[in-house]
Amino acid sequence: MRTKAKTGLMLFLILLLLTGCTKTQDPPAENASVVVGFSQLGSESSWRIANTASMEQSAKEFGFSLMMENANQKQEKQIDALRSFIAYRVDVIVFSPIVQTGWDNVLTEAKKAGIPVILMDRMIKSQDESLYTAYVGADFYAEGRRAGEYLIRKADTLGTDHLRIVEICGTTDSTPMRDRQRGFMDVIRKDPRFEVIASVNGDFLRSKGEECMRELLQQYGADGFDVIFAHNDAMMLGALDVLEHTDDPAIQSIIRITVDGEKEVVEALKAGRINCVVQCTPHLGPFVMSLVKDIKEGKKVRKTYHPDEGVFSDLDDLTAPEVEGF
Ligand code: AHR
């Protein structure tokens, strides 16, 4: 009995010591009273799932209370979530708008209630910039340009004079769809070697990427196009599911360009099944939460925060340590 009591005491002391050691890393207690209302747009891709995890993890690390609502790809559900955050009088609203338009009314309500809004990952289109405090997310236009620049390098390397491109686009009217397309087109438009023969909507979903590829193959045949530019990895993976089950050697030479950089795709790149991955990081949680902290402390914040991103491709060193997916 005595030995048991001693062991118990020892364990208790060790635990005390351990909690003492981690104490310094605990977030300040006052952060616990900060409520962040977070409206996520859905769960359409591995990117989105990693992004949600990043937000949850960072909120925990900062000690904020996170009220999260997932809109399952429906703008009306996002609007409802924002209204519920306003009614609850959260301290800060963070949201990732599924499309760019249609937010003015609800954001005006948030503004009137004095609740700062951070746009995370996607932008809105509005005449009134005061409807949001800051935007944290990728520079999608630069991503589109990187995809175009890779294609130019690839065409130079191959010495080819005509490449027919099919584009599998993300959700219509979303920022990444619009800006990746614009950036890509701005780079290739003036080069007569390139011709976009089809732009189809894959809604950022693997299942739709698959559907799009089936239709494209039906319409053009395996030798009817030379390049696939998919606006995200999920759609590229769906397209590959179809392409790699097509019994036509013509598919081998199709150049495949995608955006995001999830693990499965980076592995496919290293295995030679994909040619180029333009990076788009989902790990935005730490940026967002430190912004919430600054806003709460009354600090002046920048309007736009873009993470650093690059490109992985078959024209670069794929053994470099930074070539890895999320
Ligand atoms: O807004 C970012 C995009 O949304 C990612 O590229 C895509 O995978 C996600 O669905």
All structural domains of the chain, each given as residue ranges with its CATH number in brackets, are: 35-137+282-308 (3.40.50.2300), 140-280 (3.40.50.2300)
Whether 280 lines ligand 1, by a CB cut-off of 6 Å, is: yes
Q: What is the pLDDT of residues 270-318, one digit of tens each?
A: 999 999 999 999 999 999 999 999 999 999 999 999 999 999 999 999 9
Distance, CA of 318 to CA of 326 (rounded, Å): 16
Whether 260 lines ligand 1, by a CB cut-off of 6 Å, is: yes
How many other CB atoms are found less than 10 A from the CB of residue 88?
11
Ligand 1 mutation pick, 169, 181, 259, 260, max ligand atoms within 8 A of CB: 260
DSSP 27: P
Q: pTM here?
A: 0.91
* Distance between Cα 60 and ligand 1 center (Å): 23
Q: What is the pLDDT of residues 56-101, one digit of tens each?
A: 999 999 999 999 999 999 999 999 999 999 999 999 999 999 999 9
* Distance between Cα 156 and ligand 1 center (Å): 29
Contact between residue 91 and residue 35 where contact means Cβ atoms under 8 Å apart: yes
Whether 203 lines ligand 1, by a CB cut-off of 6 Å, is: no
* Distance between Cα 47 and ligand 1 center (Å): 6
Alpha-carbon torsion 236, 241, 247, 252, what sign?
Answer: positive
What are 6's two structure tokens?
A: 């001693």
Smallest CA-to-CA distance from 216 within 226, 204, 206 is with 226
Whether 234 lines ligand 1, by a CB cut-off of 6 Å, is: yes
Name the phi and psi angles at 48, rounded to 5.
-65, -40
* Distance between Cα 303 and ligand 1 center (Å): 21
Contact between residue 113 and residue 86 where contact means Cβ atoms under 8 Å apart: yes
- Bigger pLDDT: 13 vs 141: 141
Q: SS3 for 195-244, per residue?
A: EEEEEEECCCCHHHHHHHHHHHHHHHCCCCCCEEEECCHHHHHHHHHHHC
Whether 178 lines ligand 1, by a CB cut-off of 6 Å, is: no
Kindly report the protein residue whose alpha carbon is nearest to atom 6 of ligand 1: 232
Q: Looking at residues 186-206, what average pLDDT do you find?
A: 98
Q: Looking at residues 201-210, what average pLDDT do you find?
A: 98
Smallest CA-to-CA distance from 120 within 295, 262, 284, 299 is with 284
Kindly report the protein residue whose alpha carbon is nearest to atom 3 of ligand 1: 176
* Distance between Cα 69 and ligand 1 center (Å): 18
> Any bridge partners for residue 260, and if so which?
279
What are 59's two structure tokens?
A: 């909120």
Q: Looking at residues 192-199, what average pLDDT do you find?
A: 98
Distance, CA of 79 to CA of 42 (rounded, Å): 13
* Distance between Cα 150 and ligand 1 center (Å): 20
- Average pLDDT over the chain, rounded to whole? 93
Whether 122 lines ligand 1, by a CB cut-off of 6 Å, is: yes
Q: Which residue has the tokens 């954001």?
A: 107
Instruction: Kindly calculate the radius of gyration of the chain based on its CA atoms and give it in whole angstroms.
Output: 23
Atom of ligand 1 nearest to the CA of 46: 8
Whether 50 lines ligand 1, by a CB cut-off of 6 Å, is: no
Whether 204 lines ligand 1, by a CB cut-off of 6 Å, is: yes
Distance, CA of 233 to CA of 235 (rounded, Å): 5
Distance, CA of 38 to CA of 58 (rounded, Å): 13
What are 304's two structure tokens?
A: 């736009």
Atom of ligand 1 nearest to the CA of 121: 1
* Distance between Cα 233 and ligand 1 center (Å): 9
Q: Report the SS3 class of residue 114.
A: coil
Burial of 102 (0-12, 13-18, 19+ CB in 10 A): middle
Quick one: pLDDT band at residue 28, thresholds 50, 70, 90?
Answer: confident
Quick one: pLDDT band at residue 136, thresholds 50, 70, 90?
Answer: very high
What are 239's two structure tokens?
A: 């397209």
- Bigger pLDDT: 20 vs 128: 128
What are 270's two structure tokens?
A: 């290293």
Smallest CA-to-CA distance from 177 within 38, 280, 39, 326 is with 280
- Bigger pLDDT: 18 vs 266: 266
Quick one: pLDDT band at residue 25, thresholds 50, 70, 90?
Answer: low
Atom of ligand 1 nearest to the CA of 96: 1
In sequence order, the 6+-apart residues with CB closer than 8 A to the CB of 124 are 97, 100, 101, 103, 107, 131, 132
Whether 181 lines ligand 1, by a CB cut-off of 6 Å, is: no
Alpha-carbon torsion 118, 121, 126, 129, what sign?
Answer: positive
User: Above 60 in pLDDT, residue 144?
Assistant: yes
Quick one: pLDDT band at residue 26, thresholds 50, 70, 90?
Answer: confident
Residue 21 pLDDT: 43
